[in-house]
Amino acid sequence: MMAGAVPSHADTTAATAEDPGPAGSFAWKGFNWQKRFWGGAPQYNQSFDPANVSNPDANGYVTLKISNPSGSAPAGAELQSTRQGFGYGTYSTTVEKNINLLQKEVVWGCLFPYDPEAAPGFNEIDLCEASAWGGGGSWGESWPVTQGHGYWFDASKPAGQGNSTITFDVTDDLILTHKLIWEPGKLTFETYAGEGYSGALLKRTVMQGATVPVPAKEAIHFNLWVTGGGGGDPAHVVPETVVVRDFSFTPRAVPPLTLTAPTPTISGTLRTGSTLTANTGTWTTGTTLRYQWYRSGTAIPGATAKTYKLVQADKDDTIKVRVTGSKTGYTTVAKYSAATAPIG
């Protein structure tokens, strides 16, 4: 569920991802992370406590908790990446918590990308949000805890109008693994029982369409908070914890681009002692070109320049040239000229 932007408040840490993000409260799973220390939504009383997010323990697990030391003023917990702009790719997290046991006022904001500047939906994609949302719309109702796969496309509208979400029943599994594949115009959600993807597939949801978020500057969030809606008693929520065992992100593989690659031609006099030139035409800007000359189909050792001086060994043979173009992010292409007439 929605979160605020990160104020500047960072400790020195180290991380291993290619782009781990700026230093935060600690490094974890290759990225830098910030414990939320500022108030605001979505916690009903706007109270968050950075002490409610643990540093990674000896197993590499991070614990989020709700605290309520006075018994009437609970504080939530939130953890978010300092990196912005994860974008398309595969997101995964493993969580230790029997979701069925969540207090009805508590919301487990399991892994979700969020960008406070990306209106109207803020690029919020909820991989595994779970709650009973206060337990009911009025006194006497008893909503069960449910999980949801979905995203917001217009946060100015109420739930059910500004979001697309599929809810499903929770189980008593202590450990759940969730996976999100974010592609252009498509979201695929999967929730598994146990650690990893070998357990039972509890729910798979595929959402497609023009309203699927487009990457911007989204960060990754995990939060545990208290809702004031649904007829619950938020002030008297008792302490609650969720353990996040794992997080990973694999960027979407980008297919290589195609070079503009004309077929080369050869110019020059076809007589021994003359120099031939490979005319390459116009390739994609920034392409590096390499050359190889051939005598009657056999590569000529050392003949790897743009020009080639004909020698006596070339007499009565044909000549052609191969031009190979390469550029980062593009598929390497080799183009051959037509063979010349026999050399005189």
Taking the model in full, what pTM does it have?
0.77
pLDDT in tens, 192-221: 999 999 999 999 999 999 999 999 999 999
Q: How far is the C-alpha of 258 from the C-alpha of 104, rounded, in Å?
A: 54
Q: What is the pLDDT of residues 57-112, one digit of tens each?
A: 999 999 999 999 999 999 999 999 999 999 999 999 999 999 999 999 999 999 99
Confirm if 224 and 66 have CB atoms less than 8 A apart.
Answer: yes
Q: Which residue has the tokens 């994860």?
A: 86
- Least Cα distance to 278 among 343, 323, 327, 340 occurs for 323
CATH number of 26-251: 2.60.120.200
Q: What are phi and psi for residue 100, nearest 5 degrees?
A: -60, -25
Which residue ranges make up each domain of the chain?
A: 26-251, 257-336
Residue 336 carries which DSSP code?
E
Looking at domain 257-336, its CATH architecture is: Sandwich (2.60)
**pLDDT(153) > 80:** yes
- Measured distance CA(67)–CA(71) in Å, rounded: 9
| Residue with the two structure tokens 């008693």 | 233
